[in-house]
Amino acid sequence: MNKKARYLVPGDYMADPAVHVFNGKLYIYPSHDWESGVEENDNGDHFNMKDYHVFSMEDMDGEVTDHGVVLDTDNIAWAGRQLWDCDVAFKDGKYYMYFPLKDQNDIFRIGVAISERPEGPFIPQENPMKGSYSIDPAIFHDGNNEYYMYFGGLWGGQLQRYRNNKALECAVLPEGNELALCGKVARLSETMLDFAEEPRDVVILDENGKPLTAGDTERRFFEASWVHQYNGKYYFSYSTGDTHLLCYAIGDNPYGPFTYQGVILTPVVGWTTHHAIVEFKGKWYLFHHDSVPSGGRTWLRSLKVCELQYNEDGTIRTIEGINA
Ligand code: FUB
């Protein structure tokens, strides 16, 4: 493909891509942005999405097929508002979609919806996953047939309302030299419908082996987890939120700890940045979004893809967000 990033769905606003290869094709599971009229605030209320589409591609330069609406809040029994970033995993003939949604008490939970096809439609379970909270579920399928969910997001993503997987009476955001809040990881149960264990912290270490601090805002975790494997190592990548970077850290197993390595994508137009990294037909790609086509309206984002390259030592070459 061309070195410049390609906009994938020019006719609509799609964001937060999760991408997987199923049956030899690429499947993209984005959030579906729209102009709902909700005013922008730090709580992210303006990201007021209410359904998902699925897209597929046979080739990176080829057509992008829109499979239409595959899940809608109108069909989710426990729905409040705001269908944010989802992901999909395949196991034993079924596709499991994991989605964050506020319940009727305005608390983010993670739901599961099931389909027999990667392009959906997906049928939601009656209730959210037991013990789930916060946003941005990303599923990593390890070679030994284990599935891990990474999740969590600060500010509007509500992670600061929890410690040790229990809700606090009021939110506490660490500051300065205090340890940064971590994203979470939990292995999924055999049925794929529950956590098989208590979610653990995804600890990111600096070059001296020390966990990142809350004041280290250009490196600490904010939201948008993704995990992929390259040359036997585990790459945990994420957004730094209010400093608008996509960064990554490398570890030796799915739980980490992960050691901070650098920036994958410098800031794009728009407040949020979010991504998926996937290998397809022998090349690596970064799927992401920006708000260029909407003229900078941060809640109306457009899906993009560009090639991702590694250096010999396994580090990732930084991509310029503005020019990508
Ligand atoms: O789309 C809503 C939120 O914006 C996502 O959950 C975050 O990762 C950010 O991209």
How far is ligand 1, taken at its centre, from the CA of residue 292, in Å? 17
**Is residue 1 in a domain?**
no
**Is residue 228 in a domain?**
yes
Q: What is the pLDDT confidence band of residue 205, given thresholds at 50, 70 and 90? A: very high
- pLDDT for the residue 144: 81
Range(s) of the domain holding residue 182: 6-308
Is the pTM of the predicted complex or chain greater than 0.95? yes
How many domains are contained in the chain? Answer: 1
**Is residue 313 in a domain?**
no
- pLDDT for the residue 143: 81
- The protein residue whose alpha carbon is closest to atom 1 in ligand 1 is 84
**Is residue 161 in a domain?**
yes
- pLDDT for the residue 267: 98
Mean pLDDT of 42-70: 97
pLDDT tens for each residue of 12-33: 999 999 999 999 999 999 999 9
**Is residue 316 in a domain?**
no
**Is residue 12 in a domain?**
yes
Mean pLDDT, the chain, rounded, equals 97
**Is residue 66 in a domain?**
yes
**Ligand 1 atom having least distance to the Cα of 31:** 1
How far is ligand 1, taken at its centre, from the CA of residue 240, in Å? 12
**Ligand 1 atom having least distance to the Cα of 47:** 2
Mean pLDDT of 301-324: 94
- Identify any residues that bridge with 262 across adjacent strands, giving them in sequence order: 248
pLDDT tens for each residue of 118-174: 999 999 999 999 999 999 999 999 988 899 999 999 999 999 999 999 999 999 999
- Using a 6 Å cutoff on CB, does residue 135 contact ligand 1? yes
Mean pLDDT of 1-7: 76
**Is residue 323 in a domain?**
no
CATH number at residue 11: 2.115.10.20
Tell me the C-alpha distance between 199 and 201, whole Å.
Answer: 7
